[in-house]
Amino acid sequence: MAEVRQRKLPVSVHSGQGPTTAVHAADLERMGFLGPDFLLCHALPFDEADRQAMVRTDAPVSFSVHSELRLGTAGGFHGQLLRMLAAGITVSLSFDASSLAPINMFESMNVAWNLGIPWVGTDTATLPAVVFRQAIEMATINGAKALGLADVTGSITPGKRADIVLIRADDLNIAPIGDLESTLVRSATPANIDTVLIDGRIVKQNRAMVSHDTAKVVRNAAGAAHAVRTRAGGVLTPTSPTPPTF
């Protein structure tokens, strides 16, 4: 860790989803490790001492909402989310594994917003609920902050890289738009994305990828999967000895 600090490398740590496997922020602070370049992932078992350690050191957290729900044996994901937001901790959203949930930031925003309410009769009762703007910030600028890239990307700001996602306003599940933030968090899906620019370069336009041959990617993936399943055998054996074509 001393060499990591000497080289000024950012650190990301799986801080635990279960009650007995946690890496606690308070302990990391005592060891001198915690800081804005030390990203804590999941952090479900954290207590007030851990949250205050993160506040003092400006350490960010990454929540993988579907993973927290499926694997979070420590429980209380919604309460941890509310407490960290109320404390002013930088909360970002992430994906733990595509085997648990689709790689879909719109859905992550939606789930975080729907879960982010205080529960009557619990210690979250007086905490503010998550609002649409917070969900969008967790998916955009807070992710950039958590990775130390807030000066580079994460918001549409002069001097930053032009990373822009354009959503169609005339799609059936979108139109007519009333409140933009509400629409993005509650209604939008990847299917509504018309255009994507990364660092000013158009990679998707008119709903189609223009930067990569997606058909080739799918064919290669299908062929590789067929080969792996054939070698594995058993219940994974493909129904046809010939790889699928698309």
Considering only CA atoms, which of 49, 52, 99 is closest in space to residue 71? Answer: 99
Q: What is the DSSP string of 41-83?
A: E--TT--HHHHHHHHHHT--EEE-HHHHHHH-TT--HHHHHHH
Cis upstream peptide for 243 (omega within 30°): no
**pLDDT per residue over 88-108, tens digit each?**
999 999 998 888 888 999 999
Q: How confident is the model at residue 28 (pLDDT cuts 50, 70, 90)?
A: very high
**pLDDT per residue over 131-187, tens digit each?**
999 999 999 999 999 999 999 999 999 999 989 999 999 999 999 999 999 999 999
- For residues 82 and 77, the model is more confident at 82
Q: CB-based contacts of 38: which residues, under 8 Å, 6+ apart?
A: 10, 11, 13, 28, 57, 59
| Amino acid in position 90 | T
Residue 78 has pLDDT above 80, yes or no: yes
**Angle between helix 132-139 and helix 105-115 axes, rounded to 10 deg:** 140
Beta-sheet strand order (sheet of 38-41):
11-14, 38-41, 61-63, 91-93
What pLDDT does residue 66 have?
94
How far apart are the C-alpha atoms of 151 and 192, rounded to whole Å?
Answer: 28
Report strand pairing: 91-93 vs 61-63.
parallel
Q: Domain 2-153 belongs to what architecture?
A: Alpha-Beta Barrel (3.20)
- Whether residue 13 contacts residue 40, with contact meaning beta carbons closer than 8 Å, is answered with yes
| pTM metric for this prediction | 0.90
The first and second tokens of residue 202, run together, are 């158009």
